[in-house]
Amino acid sequence: MIHARAVAVAADHPAFAGHFPGRPILPGVVLLGWAVDTLGEALGGPLPKCEIASAKFLRPVGPGAKLSIRLAGEPRGPWRFDILDGTATVATGSLRTAST
């Protein structure tokens, strides 16, 4: 099963406040949250529990980025995620649900 979701990073996203003055960078935890939310969408609803088995952040994400979150896996997992800004991968990793 493959699932994808587009996310536009708002220039005024609250996570940019203080992270970092003069050069705003979206915290990795926001990217991970979107990956988990996307997995919930793929499986039909919010996840009661999800484990981030691995995560690697490859490039910073700034205001105005247009991201694509892609998941690949089977309903019972594990799930691989890739987050791209255009053709550049900004984060990658794997997720497991409570049942995997």
13 is catalytic: no
Nearest CA to 81 among 27, 15, 29, 34? 34
Strand ranges for the chain from DSSP E:
2-8, 50-57, 66-73, 79-85, 88-97
> Dihedrals φ, ψ of 63, to 5°?
-60, 140
Catalytic member of 3, 19, 80, 96: 19
Catalytic residues: 19
